[in-house]
Structure 1
Amino acid sequence: MIAGGLTGLVGLAGLTAAGLTVLRRRGTYLAAGHALARPDDLDPLPSVLRRGLGGLTVPATPGPRGELFLGPGAPQPGRTLRRLVLTPLFAKARGNNGRLARDQQVPFRLVVEITGAVRDAETLLRAYRVLDQQLRDHAALLSHCDGGELVPGAVTVSVTGIVDVRELLAAQDLRYAFAEGTFDDLGSRAAPATLVPMISEAWNRRFGWDGLEPIPAEERHLLHAMVRSAHDDGRTVRISGLPTGSRQARAAIRAELGAAGVDVIADQDQRGLVRYLRKHPVSRWVEREPLPTRAVRRGSPRPHAPRTERRREAV
Structure 2
Amino acid sequence: MVDGLVIAGGLAGAAGLAGVVAALARRRTPYLAAGHGLARPDDIDPLPAVLRRGLGGLTVPVTPGPRGELFLGPGAPQPGRTLRRLVLTPLFARARGHNGRITRDQKVPFRLVVEFTGAVRDAETLLRAYRMLDQQLRDHSGLLSRCAGDDLTPGAVTVSIAGIVDVRELLVTEEVRYAFAEGSFDDLGSRSAPPALVPTISEPWSRRFGWDGLEPIPAEERHLLHAMVRSAHDDGRTVRISGLPKGPRSAREAIWTELGAAGVDVIADHDQRHLARHLRRHPVSRWAAQEPLPTRAVRRPSPRPNAPRPERRRQSV
TM-score by length of 1: 0.92
Correspondence for 1:176: 178
- In the superposition, relative to structure 1, how do residues 25 and 242 fare at CA in structure 2: closer, same or farther (>3 Å)? farther
* Cα deviation digits, residues 41-78 of structure 1 (max 9, x gap): 11111111111111100011111111111111111111
The answer for unaligned runs of 5 or more in structure 2 is none
Q: State the aligned residue count.
A: 309
Output the CA distance in 2 between the equivalents of 1:298 and 1:151: 16
Measured after TM superposition, the shift of residue 23 of structure 1 is: 4.7
Q: 1:30 aligns with which of 32, 35, 39?
A: 32
Preserved CA contact (<8 Å) 2:150 2:312: no
Per the alignment, residue 151 of structure 2 pairs with 149
Percent identity between matched residues is: 75
> Which letter does structure 2 place at the counterpart of 1:87?
T
The answer as to whether partners of 1:68 and 1:127 remain within 8 angstroms in 2 is yes
Whether 2:68 is the aligned partner of 1:62: answer no
CA shift, 1:293, in A, is 2.1
Indicate yes or no: 2:309 matched with 1:307: no
- Give TM-score, length-normalised by structure 2: 0.91
Equivalence for 1:124: 126
Deviation at 1:306, TM superposition (A): 7.7
1:24 Cα shift? 5.0
Deviates further, 18-27 or 97-106 = 18-27
**Larger relative contact order, structure 1 or 2 (CA cutoff 8 Å, min sep 6):** 2
* 1:243 Cα offset (Å): 1.4
Deviates more, 1:118-127 or 1:281-290: 281-290
Unaligned runs of at least 5 residues, structure 1:
none
Alignment-mate amino acid for residue 133 of structure 2: L
Q: Is the 8 A contact 1:289 1:305 kept in 2?
A: no
The residue aligned with 2:160 is: 158
2:65/2:71 contact within 8 Å kept: yes
Contact 2:171 2:179 in 1 (8 A): yes
1:1-315 matches, within 5 Å, as 1-25=3-27, 27-294=29-296, 307-308=313-314, 311=315, 313=316, 315=317
Match for 1:244: what amino acid?
K
The question of whether the paired residues in 1 share the 8 Å contact of 2:47 and 2:87 is answered with: yes
Deviations 1:215-267 (A, max 9, x none): 00000000000001111111111111111111211111100000000011101
Counterpart residue type for residue 307 of structure 1 = R
- Indicate if the aligned counterparts of 2:142 and 2:297 stay in contact, CA closer than 8 A: no
Which structure 1 residue ranges, 4+ long, deviate > 3 Å from structure 2?
A: 1-26, 295-301
Matched letter for residue 265 of structure 2: D
